[in-house]
Amino acid sequence: MLRVVHTFGRNAGSVELHDRRVVRFGRAPDNDVVFDPNHDRDASSHHAEARLEAAGWVLYDLDSRNGTYAGGQRIKRHPIASGDEITFGAKGPRARLELVERRAPGPPQTHAAPAHPALAAAPPAPPTGYPAPAAYPAHAGHPAHAAPSAGHAAGAAYPAPAAYPAPAGAHPGHVPAAPPAGSRRVGERTIAMMISSAVSAATGRSKPRGTVEINAMLHKEVHAATAGQRRTTYVLASLLVVALTSLAALIVYNRSSHDEISQLRAELARLPPEDPRRKEIEQRLGTLHPSNANFGRNLHDRSRKGIFMLASGREGFCTAFAVRPSILATNAHCITAAKRRGGTIVALENEGRGQVSFAVTSMRTHPQYRDSADQLTPDIGVVSIAGRAAAVLELATREQLAAAGAGDDVYLIGFPERLTDAANPVATFLAANIGRITGANGRPAPAAEAWLIQHDARSTSGMNGSPIFNGEGKVIGINAGGYLEGNDETISGQKTEVVKASPYKFGMRIDLLDAILR
């Protein structure tokens, strides 16, 4: 038999006895000697195995990652001598391997006093209520028991170990092995006592223990051995309850906060500009900001495969996005530009390395769109593609559109002019705020007519046609370009009007698509 005494690692202090010809060591649960999978990381899943061969026990390394060491030397095959200390991995768990002879079962024999100092020392007095057993009586047929051996006075009683009742019929020379320091292996001593009681009863030297007594002993041992595990389980369960309660409260709070924001915004949209209640509602909205540190990242990740670059040849010129599997929304002026370019127009999937390409089969603009620099008209259109987009963006409802207003956070995903590379279409994520929402003439208007969304995103012409998301991740508009501002400047002594692009951009409200998609 092979006794394994753990000397270092999570199992340090415990002892295992294996009565088989092959004993396997490792972190995987199917081993005979199982190391802790989290603590003893230097040991491999199937690290080594000891085999009983004709010449004796031999330890083999199973091509472990960090090696097996005996006496400080790395080994592949090592004949085991009793007491060898083996290290599984250079800094992994250690165990002392002891060779133990298998003892044939038989009646107990009296023997000389043990030489081991721990056994030679006088054992403690038996606990109250458990009298020491009488010396094993001599009887016919057993001359070895006719007289007590040296070190055992005739009729002397050997005291029972503390906390364990002496088994009925135990002889004076019997000394139970003490468990190793720091180890509590559930049931080993209890099982040994049950076996001893059964053997004694079978040979007629004692009466068998009652089932109630054995069950009480078993319950006491298991209860003591698992006390630490129960405490740990109670602590972890309490922490889990606290964490789940906190998470549920946070979810409820965020949901109620979102609901209140939506209700207040809808109410604000219904009030006329001169209504005194607007100020109170606006102040309340200013205190409600549902936090989500990963909102932008999550929005980008779920939307990125629904963003496309419109390209002609090797040059991209606008952004589009999927509103239906085979229909992309963009600007009407992007469609006009595509028609002027001629040739084959394609839609390149964002982050598709130019290899995910769909041919544009048809293009339509809003019926009220006019290609004119003198007035703003619904600059919105759709293109149909020969294929299906991997993701379709979610459009805002009419209630959400009516609730949008100045100061709201908005987000855009598209292709800035300098990054319209058809060979590498990778969209850019921008964050901005709504400056105001007005009618086409730039003045406040009823919700149904206020479809011009002014924002401050630093977008360029390649971003035209990109989606404008609200704070809930719903598309509320299509980015359409920027204003031009004329300023008088003196150049070479002459006053000249200089036209520059304004930092303020605008988009078209998404429900303008209804006139095309119906």
The pLDDT assigned to 111 comes to 43
Alpha-carbon span 334 to 321, nearest angstrom? 13
Q: Is the pLDDT of residue 88 over 70?
A: yes
Q: How confident is the model at residue 222 (pLDDT cuts 50, 70, 90)?
A: low
Residues β-bridged to residue 365 = 381
Residue 4: Cβ within 10 Å count:
20
Say if pTM beats, i.e. exceeds, 0.85: no
Distance CA 69, CA 449 (A): 81
Q: Considering only 207-211, 227-231, 354-358, which range has the smallest mean pLDDT?
A: 207-211
Please state, in angstroms and as integers, the Cα–Cα distance from residue 3 to each residue in 76, 83, 326, 337, 389, following that order. 21, 10, 71, 84, 65
Longest dimension (CA), the chain: 139
* Residue in the structure block whose two tokens are 């019926």: 367
Q: How far apart are CA 274 and CA 364, in angstroms?
A: 40
pLDDT attached to residue 272:
77
| Residues paired with 484 in a beta bridge | 501
- The Cα 268–Cα 275 span in angstroms is 10
Quote the Cα angle for 300-301-307, to 5°. 65
The whole-number average pLDDT for the span 478-490 is 71
Higher per-residue pLDDT: 17 or 125: 17
* Residue 285 pLDDT: 65
Please say whether the beta carbons of 454 and 434 come within 8 A: yes
More confident residue, 40 or 313: 40
Q: How far apart are CA 370 and CA 376, in angstroms?
A: 8
Closest CA to 262 of 89, 391, 147, 403: 403
* pLDDT tens by residue, 170-180: 444 444 444 44
Q: Is the pLDDT of residue 29 over 50?
A: yes
- The amino acid occupying position 443 is R
pLDDT tens sequence across 259-295: 777 777 777 777 776 788 877 776 676 566 555 557 8
Residues with Cβ within 8 Å of residue 443, at least 6 apart in sequence:
none
Phi, psi of 476 (to 5 degrees): -110, -10
Per-residue confidence (pLDDT) for residue 496, from 0 to 100:
60
Among the listed residues 499, 498, 425, the one whose alpha carbon sits nearest the alpha carbon of residue 462: 425
Q: Please name which of 1, 8, 53, 72 lies closest in space to residue 35, comparing C-alpha atoms.
A: 8
The pair of structure tokens assigned to 325 is 């599997």
- Say which residues have a Cβ less than 8 Å from residue 482's Cβ, sequence separation at least 6: 459, 501, 502, 503, 504, 505, 506
Q: Where are the beta strands (DSSP E) in 345-451?
A: 345-349, 357-365, 381-385, 409-414, 428-438
Write out the DSSP string of 155-202: TPPPPPPTTSPPPTT--TT--PPPPPTT---TTHHHHHHHHHHHHHHH
pLDDT digits (tens, 9 = 90+) for 41-53: 999 999 999 999 9
Check residue 320 and give its pLDDT: 97
Amino acid identity of residue 66, one-letter, is N
pLDDT recorded at residue 486: 55
Proportion of the chain above pLDDT 90, given as a percent: 43
pLDDT of residue 487: 59
Closest CA to 264 of 408, 124, 97, 435: 408
1 close to 50: Cβ distance less than 8 angstroms: no
Q: What is the pLDDT of residue 138?
A: 39
Model confidence at 75: pLDDT above 60: yes
Q: Which of 4-18, 482-496, 497-511 has the highest mean pLDDT?
A: 4-18
More confident residue, 437 or 500: 437
Mean pLDDT over each residue of the chain, to the nearest integer: 77
Q: What is the mean pLDDT of residues 153-178?
A: 42
CB-based burial label for 317 (10 Å; 0-12, 13-18, 19+): buried
Q: Return the pLDDT at 422.
A: 82
Nearest to 224 by CA among 180, 185, 191: 185
Q: Is the pLDDT of residue 463 over 50?
A: yes
Q: Which amino acid is at 110?
A: T
What 3 state SS string does 400-429 have?
Answer: HHHHCCCCCEEEEEECCHHHCECCCCCCEE
Total residues found in the chain within this entry: 518
pLDDT tens-place string over residues 371-427 = 877 788 999 999 999 999 999 999 999 999 998 999 999 999 999 877 777 888 999
What pLDDT score does 6 carry?
A: 95
| Bridge partner list, 468 | 412, 477
Main-chain phi, psi angles of 287, to 5 degrees:
-95, -5
Instruction: Name residues whose C-beta falls within 8 Å of residue 198's C-beta, 6 or more positions apart in sequence.
Output: 208
CA distance 277 to 360: 50
Q: What are phi and psi of 421, to 5 degrees?
A: -95, 110
